[in-house]
Amino acid sequence: MELRFLGTGASEGIPAINCHCSHCRRAAETGGRLIRRRSAILCSTGRSNLLIEVPPEIRELINEQCRGVKWDGVYVSHAHYGHAAGLEELRHWQGKSTWSRDKLKLFVAASVDDRLAEKTWFQGQMKDVFDTMICSNEEPTVVGGLSITPFAVEHGEEPTFGLVVESEGHKVVYTSDMAVSQCEKMPALADQADILIANTPTFLPPKADHITVQDAVELKIRLKAQKVVLTHISHKNKTHDALGDCAKGLKGVVVAYDGLRLRI
């Protein structure tokens, strides 16, 4: 299994619009791994490809990093703009000879599907573009050579679901956006992952509606994961190089950047 971190930023990206904080100023001036577009992950095996999250800039992310890849579908954890607004871009999926003439499969929980139907940024009807596959909480669904199992997490009032991805004896757990209170309520199916992917906008608590870097490191130990990958990083967190310095003294902690590839 291979993971490609197409984007690794939180909802505002880095640099954020018209922000003059030191993090955003340095990112704008220096570029490179300090730049973060909003988070999306491509999970691939030799015969299957699943996109996890569909941010607004998904067209650029696909064209730059995985143009021409044949998709088995996309998974959306919740209906917040930074995670799902790129579905509008995928209206142009159909009829591309290098992709598929069929509808694109959209894997979501029923409550997330209901919330997506309310969004005004999607022009047209979801059913005309996507073959929606409703996934049940903590029940596996087969996606090509992958098995995916969503699990409910706390994220304010928004229905949100993390994801367990399994293939050939390997396991990846994606937290999505979740409150720190969820750390003590993780389901058993999230235990002992090869890779735990944690959305960590900030470095230290308090951050009630999301976990922080400190929370994610503790969660790795709690779940007995081999590695934790920090992503969904905001300009309120440390810069990429500063996070890397912090991770050097911690076993199995990886700081994601746009374009990172990891093999399991």
Question: pLDDT tens digits for 24-74?
Answer: 999 999 999 999 999 999 999 988 999 999 999 999 999 999 998 888 999
Q: pLDDT per residue over 225-245, tens digit each?
A: 999 999 999 999 999 999 999
Per-residue pLDDT averaged across 194-198, rounded? 98
Indicate the number of domains in the chain: 1
pLDDT at 151: 98
pTM of this structure: 0.95
Angle at 99 between CA 48 and CA 50, to 5 degrees: 30
Q: Where are the beta strands (DSSP E) in 47-185?
A: 49-52, 73-75, 104-109, 130-135, 141-143, 146-153, 160-167, 170-174
Per-residue pLDDT averaged across 91-106, rounded? 66
Confidence of residue 91 (pLDDT cuts 50, 70, 90): confident
DSSP per residue, 151-173: EEE-BTBS-EEEEEEEETTEEEE
Asked whether the predicted pLDDT for residue 98 surpasses 50, the reply is: no
Read off the CATH number of the domain in which 228 is found. Answer: 3.60.15.10
Q: pLDDT per residue over 183-193, tens digit each?
A: 999 999 999 99
- Is there a contact between 24 and 16 (Cβ–Cβ < 8 Å)? yes
Amino acid at 249: G
Domain of 257 in residue numbering reads as 2-263
Secondary-structure breakdown of the chain: helix, strand, coil percentages, each rounded to the nearest 5: 25, 30, 45
pLDDT at 101: 56
pLDDT at 121: 82
